[in-house]
Amino acid sequence: MKRLLLATVVLAAACGGKSMFRLTSENHDNDRAQLAKALAARQLPEQDAPKNAARRPRVFVVEAGGATKTIVAYDLESQKVLWNTGADVQSRISIGGDFIVELEGKELVARDQETGNVRWKKGIGGDLVGATADRERAYAVWRASGKPRWYVAAFAGSDGDELWSHEADGALGAPVAQGGVLYSPFLTQWLSLIDGKTGNELARLRGLDEQISVIRATSRTAYFGSKQGVFELDTRAASGKRESSTYGQVKLPAQLDRTTYGPDLYDATQGTYTAADRARVLWTSTPSDDGPMKFGNDMYAVHYFRYVFGFGTNGELQWAYSHPRTELVASDHTGAAIVGVSSTGDIVALDPKTGAVRAELSLGTKAQVLGATFDAGGWNPSGAGDKVETVAALSAIARDRDARFERVKELAVAALAKQPGGDATKELLGVLADKRASVKLKDTVAELLQTRKDPASLPVLTAQLAVHSDFIAKTESDSLAAVAKSIAGLGGTKLEPADRDAALAALLSHLEDPATQSPDLVLVIGALAAIGGGAERGPLTSHLLLYHADDELGADAAWQRAIATALAEKGGPGERETLRQVALDPRTHQGLTAAIKDALAND
């Protein structure tokens, strides 16, 4: 009875007077001194560490089941399942010191973190917006059923006693707790920092040039922002403006445009595990007294369904990881590793700097994993891992059979084209040869090969020219056009003489092959002219004399322009004289005569 009376007094004190959630506040918005005091009140570890009282890196997974779902608690360090239990989970799992909390049916339920046993249940009388926890307390925000009124409340982690609550006439977003301070967003414009123990508002921020719909808290750092970017929650955030805060914004390729910095705290559907969790920016930062946010290792990562990409702060791809067969349904950055769990219960840890696989674990489940919450701050798996082979990873993505990720494949081939060396060229050619690759992707690869301009690629391109169209042998030189364009793109680069000679011989074999179609011949002529250095003049002259009066090829306008231009621009006096003689020959097709005159107009 005494405890109930005390709780009532605390509740009355917290709720007395006007609500803190209004357009004006007793605390001045964006007061730097108040913010500094509020941030200092947080009880944070000296270095990144798990939130749970045992300080063990853990992940809490929700699996699909028959009539109900299953919660699985897994210790990442010992690589063992701690427990599993059936539960009607309707929200994300939030992690406290020695408990977890989540919505089951219509009740907020706390479970013992070591056993999974129910510790307490609490009806909330409305629709949950979101829940969170710190070491001692659970917190929840809900909307009254059928009414435009929102509530935020704190509950003792030990027994579920309500410690304090506040109400608001405007929308409250899902809260996030860190070190005894609750971050509560309001109307997408304000962020209140509330003392978790008393319910008193410590400080309030107002976003002046960006909404506040995303909050992410690690064991030592907190961030807030929107789809556009994030602010680090330090004293500079009191300005409310990007330019004078520690603000970060990653460069996302258009192909990864579904990626966000975290769940939208005002979207009720994202209060539970959804497909949106499969497209996340993962990052850390180092403290900064001025200027924009400094990303850890000058890098950030993007988890995008089955893939994880590591980018430099300039937006250039540094590494890529493709998870075999199944999607990663949840991910996190521990500060020392990027971790993810797949829909089949595989757990992977990657090196944030290189993408190397540091650990591969398994829940050992046969059920589908719907989502997960990591509590693994500072977890640094001991596995060294090999540096990721970026070319191989990008190639695996580009040749993935999953048709849903065509745009991601475009990103992969674009990044592959920027990798130096013949191996990348070989993989791009492999995409061209893949009969299951889309026409659009092949067109993209052909364009990239043409602009690649990597002399080391020439031997690989030459090897590809060994294939000719042969009806009897049932072979097709499907990539002849793309290869010829690619070789033409090497014009003006420094080529090894032996490589160039081999390429010229291979091109000439197609020039002389009657099976080579006119459109491909045009490209072969262009490639010979681009890298020939004069060695192509004799073969091209013979080709002209052989076909200048041909009823089919000699009448092809594209071929006429190609052969006339190649000999006029790359040939010497002898070749230009031959062109004049051919133009005077009455047997020469009129179109070719006109093309020669145009090519020699400035001679």
Q: Render pLDDT for 367-379 as a digit per residue (tens, 0 to 9).
A: 999 999 999 999 9
Going by DSSP bridges, is the β-strand pair 99-104/299-304 parallel, antiparallel, or unpaired? unpaired
Specify the range with the lowest mean pLDDT, choosing from 91-95, 188-192, 321-325, 468-472. 468-472
Residue indicated by tokens 């944030």: 352
Is residue 66 predicted with pLDDT exceeding 90? no
Task: Return all residues near 62 (Cβ < 8 A) that are at least 6 apart.
Answer: 69, 70, 71, 72, 89, 93, 273, 369, 370, 371, 372
Q: What pLDDT score was predicted for residue 18?
A: 53
What is the arrangement of strands in the sheet containing 137-144, beginning at the earlier edge strand? 126-133, 137-144, 150-156, 162-168
- The two tokens of residue 296 are 């850890």
What is the spatial distance between Cα 406 and Cα 417, in angstroms, rounded to a whole number?
A: 17
Mean pLDDT of the chain: 91
Buried b (16+ CB within 10 A) or exposed e, 426-446: bbbbebbeeeebeeebbebbb
Cα 497 from chain centre? 42
Give, in degrees to the nearest 5, the angle at Cα 388 between 382 and 393: 135
Given a contact cutoff of 8 angstroms between Cβ atoms, the answer to whether 240 and 225 are in contact is: no
pLDDT bin (cut points 50, 70, 90) of residue 596 is very high
Average pLDDT over residues 133-158: 96
pLDDT bin (cut points 50, 70, 90) of residue 289 is confident
Correct CATH for 2-305+357-375 of 1.10.357, 2.30.30, 2.130.10, 1.10.10: 2.130.10
Q: Note the pLDDT tens digit of each residue in 175-213.
A: 999 999 999 999 999 999 999 999 999 999 999 999 999
Q: What pLDDT score was predicted for residue 554?
A: 86
The domain segmentation of the chain, as residue ranges, is 2-305+357-375
Backbone angles phi, psi at 466, to 5 degrees: -65, -20
Given a contact cutoff of 8 angstroms between Cβ atoms, the answer to whether 168 and 21 are in contact is: yes
Q: How many other CB atoms are found less than 10 A from the CB of residue 360?
A: 12
* Three-state secondary structure call for residue 53: coil
Is residue 472 predicted with pLDDT exceeding 60? no
Q: Is 158 exposed, middle or buried (0-12, 13-18, 19+ CB in 10 A)?
A: middle
Q: Note the pLDDT tens digit of each residue in 393-440.
A: 899 999 988 888 999 999 999 999 999 999 999 999 999 888 889 999
